[in-house]
Amino acid sequence: MTINTKVPVAAEARFPSPLRFAGCDPSTAIRYRTEHDRVRVYPCITQELDDPETVFERAGPREWITDDPANMTVAIVTCGGLCPGLNDVIRGLVMSLWHHYGVSRVLGIRYGYAGLTPAGLEPFELTPDNVDEIHRDGGSVLGVSRGAQDVAVMAERMREFGISKLFVIGGDGTQRGALELAGVLDGVSVIGIPKTVDNDILWVDQTFGFDTAVDIAARVISDAHVEARSTERGVGIVKVMGRDSGFIAACAALASLEANVVLVPEVPFAMEGADGLLGFLEQRLERKDHAVIVVAEGAGQEHFHGLKERRDASGNKLHQDIGELLCERIESHFNEIGKPVKLKYLDPGYSVRSAPACGTDRIYCTRLAHAAVHAAMAGKTAMMVSRWSGHYVHVPLELVTQGRRKINPGGSLWRTVLEATGQPCLAEGARKGESCR
């Protein structure tokens, strides 16, 4: 596979950066980055690359920026669903633009890409004073919305506002829009910041807000465990978000260490028969008298037939409710065999994404925001800031928009889940009684 990691440039950087590492001893390593500062794409990926020397540009301040910050108009937009840390990123961008560079016209675009159309609400100006405390709240002070807008219309609106740098905080669909915008705007830096609670964006170690979401979901799994353990033949089912990726389910199960089965979209499972989910539950209840199942919303879609496909405003396939289906099938199966269970169904749903960011996410958001500002000031475009292999880097949007990240069923994360839960391979055709423990 050949990947092109070269980051496009929207405008030449000819203006000296006003950024001074105030208060720093000049002998410390803090310095401007150059285009020679690179991060190797790590080995498990390079094995698939034609050129093992493939590198990403390192993020960080450059010595030269595009224009005089006093004359710049910069905008921020948040798109898609909510995610813990959105306000932290907005705050980090505004603080860095004002305090590091002296940009004082920062527009907050209202309700996602819709705010870049004439029908959208007017933007409002963001200042250090009005973003100072926003990190304490979940959500986005700018508001969010789903759905693409006409790129030509958005570009025209940006020209009307005189925007020369746009920060786009969103998932893969949003970044596809950012790439198109960058393609039609001359001299404008469009910088993506990867956002999704699902952790399914390519070329990012982990998306911001994910730690917070996992923490909240893990607490709910522990609640389900307490309920199940305190009841005769108690079964707890916890359904978590994640769309087509099972990262929240897998990691929350590992964070709580209370789940006996984890069901994710990447690994189909059999329902019936001794080797299916119901058979495993029978054995588990005989042995321990309680069980906890964590199910990702996109799991088990193979168990729905003949239903009409539905999509959301962004074109994402809406999943059938696997949580409800599990409740029905488990209750009816155990009633049929004359051994009823007491089932509790918990769905933390939107609670995992509407919370304020936890400490580690907060640090991460601020670092991503600062990296994004430095990239925009240097004139980069059609790129996303990312933490890759522990380093902050620039990733071309062309790469980011090529797909979605999923759990590798043959990889170490899934293996750890199987080891930690002790669940057998529930896949159709798995060897009888096969256990990964």
Read off the tokens for 275.
């080797």
Q: Which is nearer to ligand F6P, 279 or 348 (CB)?
A: 348
Q: Which is nearer to ligand F6P, 194 or 279 (CB)?
A: 194
Distance (Å, rounded) from C-alpha 353 to C-alpha 242?
11
Find how far residue 389's CA is from the centre of its chain: 16
Distance (Å, rounded) from C-alpha 382 to C-alpha 78?
17
E-strand stretches of 277-422: 290-296, 310-311, 317-318, 342-346, 383-388, 391-396
Distance (Å, rounded) from C-alpha 177 to C-alpha 400?
12
Q: Which is nearer to ligand F6P, 147 or 276 (CB)?
A: 147
CB of 349 to ligand F6P, least distance (A): 8
Nearest to residue 90, comparing CAs of 381, 362, 384, 396? 362
Q: Which is nearer to ligand F6P, 275 or 361 (CB)?
A: 361
CB of 22 to ligand F6P, least distance (A): 39
Q: Which is nearer to ligand F6P, 81 or 300 (CB)?
A: 81
CB of 5 to ligand F6P, least distance (A): 26
Nearest to residue 202, comparing CAs of 176, 166, 165, 168? 176
Q: Which is nearer to ligand F6P, 155 or 168 (CB)?
A: 168
Distance (Å, rounded) from C-alpha 197 to C-alpha 210?
5
Backbone phi, psi, residue 59, to 5°? -75, 165
Residues counted in the chain = 437
Which residue type, as a one-letter code, is found at position 270?
A: A
Contact 341, 334 (CB under 8 A): yes
CA angle 150, 153, 156 (to 5 degrees): 150
CB of 318 to ligand F6P, least distance (A): 8
| Beta partners for residue 194, in sequence order | 170
Footprint on this chain of ligand F6P (rule: CB under 6 A): 81, 146, 196-198, 241-243, 297, 312, 353
Q: Which is nearer to ligand F6P, 81 or 85 (CB)?
A: 81
18 DSSP 8-state letter: -
Phi-psi region of 257 (alpha: psi -120 to 50; beta: other; left: phi over 0): left
Catalytic: 198? Answer: yes
CB of 249 to ligand F6P, least distance (A): 11
The one catalytic residue in 172, 198, 244, 361 is 198
Distance (Å, rounded) from C-alpha 299 to C-alpha 303?
9
Please name the residue that has the structure tokens 């079964």: 235
Q: Which is nearer to ligand F6P, 5 or 196 (CB)?
A: 196
CB of 82 to ligand F6P, least distance (A): 7
| Exposure string for 194-203, b = 16+ CB within 10 A, e = fewer | bbbbbbbbbb
CB of 313 to ligand F6P, least distance (A): 7
Please name the residue that has the structure tokens 């260490």: 257
CB of 201 to ligand F6P, least distance (A): 10
- Nearest residue to ligand F6P by CB is 241
Catalytic residue numbers, as ranges: 198
